[in-house]
Structure 1
Amino acid sequence: MEVKWREVAPFSVCGLQVRTCNADEQQADSARIGPMWERFFVEGLFDSIGQRQSDSFVYGVYSNYESDASGHFDVTVGVAVGEGDADYPLVRIEGGEYLAFSAKGPMPEVVIQTWGLIWAYFEDNPTIRRRYATDFEVYTGADSVSVYIGVQASDELSRSSN
């Protein structure tokens, strides 16, 4: 897995949205993210969300964090838009410093594995702190994903060690 520092300009994503927490996602009867992704693809929402930017990828956005990785948060599955679509929730990705974790492999297993590696990365690097504002997944191909994790700007000095 490749990890790189990235500066991200703010942008908006519009699509389906659920509120969940990691504990709920560990149980099949309370998991909400997988069924939302399934609905996104079954209903063909990539092509039907209004105002979609022509060069948009598919995004999974994590926002509105209650606290940290143990609290509730919103997940939005959608596309980059110039403006919102009245039929779907809109989330604005904060601009700023992000760590991008890129991986390739079969979906959704590679995404689940990447998140496990992300949690381990932050445990192993306690001087780099997550912002818990907006994080997002970018699906750049059928078997490739990059997960962007917002980090606090004060971590700038840590870049030299990565």
Structure 2
Amino acid sequence: MEVRNVSKQTVHGISARTNNTAEMSPHGKIPDLWQLFDARVPVDYQGGERVYGVYYNYESDHAGMFNVLAGFDGASFPSDITLEEITIPDGKYLVFVERGDMPQIAIDAWTKVWEHFTRDDCPHQRLYNIDFEYYANGNQIEVHIAIK
């Protein structure tokens, strides 16, 4: 993991409101959200477009409600679905990188996030304003956690 200063990025996609307890159950919304996004939003990977998972509108901390948006940084929007827009702000982020096969790399990256921030000697403090996943390609994920 490393600390990075990230420039703002606008992302368009589809969102849902959920919490971590729901996502640990069979009734989690995030898998269905990604299935809908993959089925309805054409992403031009060859043209340089990339996919993001954005976490925002945190009610409190890891135990509260939050919004998650499955989105992309492209400019060609499907006509049969309305996409929401969110801007990831400039800021300091702690970045966790995983490589391998999906969806296991996402699970592994978030496991490292939870382990890091629950340590008694954790040197970083989460802001709980906006966090995001960046999919550089089909075999790499970067989880960006906003920190003070």
TM over 0.5: yes
- Corresponding residue for residue 121 of structure 1: 116
Whole-Å separation in 2 of the counterparts to 1:46 and 1:134? 25
Note if 1:31 corresponds to 2:28. Answer: yes
Provide, for residues 76-120 of structure 1, a one-character-per-residue CA deviation record: whole Å limited to 9, x for no partner: 0111257x9992111111211001110011111110121011111
**Preserved CA contact (<8 Å) 2:94 2:144:** yes
Equivalent residues, number: 142
Deviation larger for 54-63 or 16-25 = 54-63
Q: Please tell me the residue identity of whatever aligns with 2:55.
A: Y
% identity of equivalent residues:
32
- Corresponding residue for residue 158 of structure 1: none
Structure 2 counterpart of 1:7, from 5, 8, 15: 5
- Corresponding residue for residue 54 of structure 2: 61
Structure 1 counterpart of 2:132, from 129, 133, 136: 136
Provide, for residues 17-52 of structure 1, a one-character-per-residue CA deviation record: whole Å limited to 9, x for no partner: 000000000111x21000110111122x0349xxxx
**Preserved CA contact (<8 Å) 2:12 2:71:** yes
**Preserved CA contact (<8 Å) 1:100 1:146:** yes
1:46 aligns to what SS in structure 2? Answer: coil
Structure 2, unmatched stretches of 5+, are none
- Corresponding residue for residue 78 of structure 1: 71
- Corresponding residue for residue 17 of structure 2: 19
Give the TM-score of the pair, scaled to structure 1. Answer: 0.81
Whole-Å separation in 1 of the counterparts to 2:60 and 2:73? 26
**Preserved CA contact (<8 Å) 2:50 2:74:** no
Deviation larger for 115-124 or 67-76 = 115-124
Structure 1, unmatched stretches of 5+, are 49-53, 153-162
Structure 1 moving runs of 4+ over 4 Å: none
Greater helix share, 1 or 2? 1
Call closer, same or farther: CA 1:126–1:47 in 2, change over 3 Å: closer
Give the TM-score of the pair, scaled to structure 2. Answer: 0.88
- Corresponding residue for residue 51 of structure 1: none
